[in-house]
Structure 1
Amino acid sequence: MSDLLPQLASLVGERHVVSGETLRDRPQDFWNNVPTPARALVKPGTTSEVSAVLALCNGNGIAVIPEGGRTNLSQATRSDERSILLSLERLDDIETPDEAGLTVVVGAGVVIQTLQERCAASGLRFGLDFGARGSAMIGGALSTNAGGFQALRYGVTRDMVLGLECVLADGTVLSHLIPFRKDNTGYDLKQLFIGSEGTLGVITRATLRLHPAPVTRNTALLSFADFTAVARTLSRLRRDLRGTLSSFEIMWPEFFDFNVEALYGERRPIGSGASFYCLCEAEGFEPDSDGALFEDVISAALGAGDVADAVIAQSSRQRDELWKIREDFEAEQNFFNVMIDFDISLPLKVMDKFVAEVDAALKSEIPASLGLHVLGHLGDGNLHVTTGLPTPEHASSLKDLVYGLIARYQGSISAEHGIGILKRDYLHHSRSPAEIETMRTLKRALDPRNTLNPGKVI
C-alpha cells in the first residue's frame, strides 16, 4: 500500500507521522539498541484518531504495534519492516482527580510519575510505583499489568482500574469508564485487555482508583540469618504496623554486597555476613506516633531474635541511599556481559529452596555463568533472578534450566514484566494447553486478521 503514509497523515496530521526511514536512527527500545524497523510511527491524539488508524490498517492487512514509554522488558513492542508503530504519547490528558470519589480519568500516554505528582498535589496517592516511573506510561502499565514496589499495599495495576476505554483491531471503541467498584453487568471486559500486551485491543483511557496520600514515611534496612526469620518478620510488620506497611523488598547477599560495593565502597549502611537483607517501608497518617510505632515494631523483631541487625533511615537522604541499593542496576548491567533475567512468582514457602537449587544447578550445569543476583517484592511473591554469561553461547540452555525449575516449583514465568516475545516459547511452563488454546480463541475472536501486536504472548 504505497499511499499509506499520506492516508495516515490525513487522519492524525502530517507532523504526527514518522517515516520508516527516519525511524532507522532510533533504537528499538530502551534495552535494545538495534535500529527500529517499521513502515511508520503514528501518533494519534484522540481515541477517534486511534480508531481511524486501526480501521485503516486492519482493512489493509497491516500489523499495528502499540507502544508507550518503550521500557518493556520482554520485547513486546518489537516491530518489523511491514508493521506500523502506534505511539500513545499524545493521549496524555489527566482529568481533575475526584477527591471525594478517590478516582481519576487519564489517557494511556500519561507518564506514571506525572500522574503520581498530579495526585500528590491533591493530597492523593496513585499506588503504582516502579523504577521506570519517569518514562513508563499508563497504557503500557495496563497492558502488562505491572506490579512494582507497593503492590503489597495497593495491589498490581489490575487492582487500580475501575473503568477502561479501548479500541479493537477493526476500530470499534469500547468505552466503559465507570468511577465505581461495584458493577455486575455481565462480563468484565476490561480484564481481557489488562495484561494482554496490546494483542486484543489498544487501551486509550482508564478510570483509576486513588487513595488518601500518607503523611508519614518510615524506612529501615534489616538483615537476617535465615529465610524463616524473614517470613516471620514480614508477618509481624503486616500485623503490628496496623496496615501501613507498603514495601518489603528482599535482597540475597550476592546482589546486596555487589551493589553496596559499587555504590558506596566500604561505607556500608549495615554489617556484612547476613544471609538476607530486606528494605521495609511504612507510610501512615499519624505524625505524632507513626515513627515511634515503627521503631517499636523493629525493636521487637530484634528482641525476638528474628532480625539480626537494623538501620532506620533518619532523613530523606538516608532513605534515598537505602533505596538506591535496591533500585540501581547500572553496575549489574555492566558486570553481566550477556544478562539473562527472570521475573517470577513463587509461593513464599519455597523461595529460599528454589534459589538455592537454581544456584547449585547453574554451578554444575552452566559453569560459565557469572553469578546469581536475586531480589524481589517479597510481600507479593515476586522475585527477580538475574545471571549472565561471557557470550550468548549457553543462553538457551540456561533459560531452559531455570524455566524448568520454575515449572517444577509451580511458579509463574512472568510476575510483572509480561510475556512479549522473549518468554512466549516458555508460556507452557505456567499455563496448560487448554488455557493457551483459550487465549488463542480470544485472539481470533477479537482480532481475526491478527492486526494487533502479532506474534506476542502466543
Structure 2
Amino acid sequence: MDALLREIAAVVGPGNIMTGEDVAQRRVDWMTGAPCRAGAIVRPADTAELAAVMRLCHVANQPVVTHGGLTGLVHGGEASPEELVMSLERMTAIEEMDPVGGTITVQAGVPLQRVQEAADDHDLHFPLDLGARGSCTIGGNISTNAGGVRVIRYGMMRQQVLGLEAVLADGTVISSMNRMLKNNAGYDLKQLFIGSEGTLGVVTRAVLKLQPRMASEKTALVSCPSFEAVTGLLRHMGRTLGGGLGTFEVMWRNHYLLLTEESGRNVPPLPTDSPFYAIIESLGVDDEANTAQFGKALETAFETDLISDAVVAQSDAQRQGIWDIREDIEGLIQNLAPLFTFDISLPIPDMERYVNQLEAGLRQGWPQGRLVVFGHLGDGNLHVSVTVGSNDPEARRAVEQLVYAPLSELGGSVSAEHGIGLEKRDYLAVSRNPEEIALMHTLKRALDPKGLLNRHKILAPET
C-alpha cells in the first residue's frame, strides 16, 4: 500500500493523505464512536483527482470505501486496514444556482444544510430535511436515497435529483448532469447510483431540483386516543389540506413520555397520557389563508374525535420545542443504552398490530426490555428503538429476528431510508426476492468487476 500511497500523493498532494493516528481519530459510527480502521484516508479536491486516484486503485486492486458526513446508521462507512477511504470532505463547492430553472449544482461533499440555506437566499426551498442536516452530505443523501420529514409532500432524495456525476471503480467518469425535468433520452443512468450506497460508483456532483419557498408554515402537536384515530387523522389532514400537508410524524407514547416527563430532557407541550402523538405541518403561500385552513382542519378533527388535545406553535421557539422531542436521538441513546435501532417500513394499516406483536415478543424474551417507536408514519416509515440490557451479538441477532421476520409477510422493508450497509445485509432477502438480488449482483459485476467499491456492503460476497 505504501507504493500506491506515494502515487496517490502525487495526485492529491501529501497533505491530503491521512495515516496512522489521524485515521484512528475519525469516528465512522456516531452512535458507538467506533474509530476508522482504514489503511489511509485520501481527500481528493474534485472529480478529476478522484478519478485519477480510482484509476490507480483499480490497477493495484485496492479496495475503497467512500466517506461523506459519517451520519449513517448501518456501518456503511466501516473500512478494514486493507482498505482505503475516499473522503469527499474537500468537495464542498456550490457551483451554480439557477433561480429561473429552479436548480442548484453542487459537489457531493457539501452539507445538506448549506444547500438549504443557499436555496433560501434565492427565495427557494430544498425540501429534503433530516435531523443530521448540519453534518450529512449531499453525496451521502444520494447514495442512501435519504428520506426525512418531508417525504409525504416532496418524496425521497431520488425525487430531488435531476442529474449527477459519478466515478466508477476503474476511474471512468459518468457525467450525467442533466438540468431538465423531462429527459427521456435512453436509460436514466443516475438511478444506478441513487440508493446504491457507493457500491456501483462514487457520486461526485449533482444537479438538484428546488421548490418554491412556502411563506407560511404551521406546526401542531396533537394527541390521539387510538391508532384508528391516527390513521383517520392522516386521511382527514391529507384531504383537508391537500398539497399543503408537509409533515405527518407520529410518536408512540413510549417515545413521547421518555423524552419529556421521564427523562426531563424536553418540556411536554401536552399531557403524557395519550397513546399516540402526531406532529402535523401545513405549508402555504399565504399565511392568513394557511392559518385559517389549518385551524379549521384541526377543529374538525376535534369534533370527529380524531384528536383529544392539540397545541399550535406560535413561534419558531415553540416549533423547535415540539421537534426537539421528535429528534432527540441523543436522549434515546443516553436513556436506553445499550440500544439497538431499526429503520423499517410497512403498510400503515398493519403498524399497530406489528408494534404490539413486537412488544409482546420482547417482553417474552427479555422482561426488562424496552421498546420505543416513532416515525414518518405518513410515508409508512417507523423508527424502532430496542434495549434488552445487553448488546452482545447473540442478543442483537435475536432482536433482529423479532423485528425483521414479520416484514416479509407484510410486504415491508428492512430499510426505509437508512440503507443496508453491513448491518442489514443478511436480511436483504426479507425485502427482495432472489431474482432481484441476482440482478443486483449482475449490476455490481458489470460496474465494479473487481469488487473494489464498498465491498461486501448491501450484497454478501458471491460464492
Give TM-score scaled by structure 2 length: 0.96
Mapped pair 1:209 → 2:224: no
> 1:398 corresponds to which letter in structure 2?
V
Aligned twin of 1:351: 351
Report matched runs for 1:135-214 at 5 Å.
Answer: 135-214=135-214
Report matched runs for 1:22-421 at 5 Å.
Answer: 22-261=22-261, 264=264, 267-369=267-369, 371-393=370-392, 394-421=395-422
Number of residues of Structure 1 aligned to a counterpart in Structure 2: 457
**2: CA distance, partners of 1:402 / 1:30:** 23
1:296-341 per-position Cα deviation (integer Å, ceiling 9, x unaligned): 1111111111111111111111111111110112221012222111
**1: CA distance, partners of 2:155 / 2:89:** 25
Question: Taking structure 1 as reference, are residues 267 and 5 closer, same or farther at Cα in structure 2, changes over 3 Å only?
Answer: closer
1:389-446 per-position Cα deviation (integer Å, ceiling 9, x unaligned): 2122422111112111222322100000000000001111111111111111110110
Question: Taking structure 1 as reference, are residues 21 and 265 closer, same or farther at Cα in structure 2, changes over 3 Å only?
Answer: closer
Task: Indicate the SS of the match to 1:396.
Answer: helix
Structure 2 runs not aligned, ≥5 long = none
**1: CA distance, partners of 2:242 / 2:401:** 43
Task: Indicate the SS of the match to 1:259.
Answer: helix
Task: Indicate the SS of the match to 1:242.
Answer: helix
CA drift at 1:271: 2.3
CA drift at 1:95: 2.7
> 2:206 corresponds to which letter in structure 1?
A
1:174-212 per-position Cα deviation (integer Å, ceiling 9, x unaligned): 111111121111111111110000000000011111001
**2: CA distance, partners of 1:2 / 1:324:** 47
1:349-392 per-position Cα deviation (integer Å, ceiling 9, x unaligned): 111111111111111133342x1100000111100011112122
Task: Indicate the SS of the match to 1:385.
Answer: strand
Question: Taking structure 1 as reference, are residues 199 and 137 closer, same or farther at Cα in structure 2, changes over 3 Å only?
Answer: same
**1: CA distance, partners of 2:150 / 2:306:** 23
1:13-41 per-position Cα deviation (integer Å, ceiling 9, x unaligned): 11111114431233233233233211211
**2: CA distance, partners of 1:268 / 1:392:** 30
Structure 1 runs not aligned, ≥5 long = none
Percent identity for Structure 1 against Structure 2: 43
Aligned twin of 1:10: 10
Whether the aligned pair in 2 keeps the contact of 1:25 and 1:35 (CA below 8 Å) is yes
Question: Taking structure 1 as reference, are residues 266 and 401 closer, same or farther at Cα in structure 2, changes over 3 Å only?
Answer: closer
> 1:338 corresponds to which letter in structure 2?
P
Whether the aligned pair in 1 keeps the contact of 2:249 and 2:376 (CA below 8 Å) is yes
> 2:258 corresponds to which letter in structure 1?
F
> 1:432 corresponds to which letter in structure 2?
N
> 1:377 corresponds to which letter in structure 2?
H
Whether the aligned pair in 1 keeps the contact of 2:218 and 2:294 (CA below 8 Å) is yes
**2: CA distance, partners of 1:304 / 1:31:** 42
**1: CA distance, partners of 2:135 / 2:416:** 20
Give TM-score scaled by structure 1 length: 0.97
CA drift at 1:277: 0.4
CA drift at 1:263: 6.2
Question: Taking structure 1 as reference, are residues 303 and 425 closer, same or farther at Cα in structure 2, changes over 3 Å only?
Answer: same
Mapped pair 1:440 → 2:441: yes
Task: Indicate the SS of the match to 1:344.
Answer: strand
Q: State the superposition RMSD in angstroms.
A: 1.4
Deviates more, 1:384-393 or 1:250-259: 384-393
Aligned twin of 1:423: 424
Question: Taking structure 1 as reference, are residues 54 and 156 closer, same or farther at Cα in structure 2, changes over 3 Å only?
Answer: same
Whether the aligned pair in 2 keeps the contact of 1:50 and 1:167 (CA below 8 Å) is yes
**1: CA distance, partners of 2:161 / 2:341:** 29
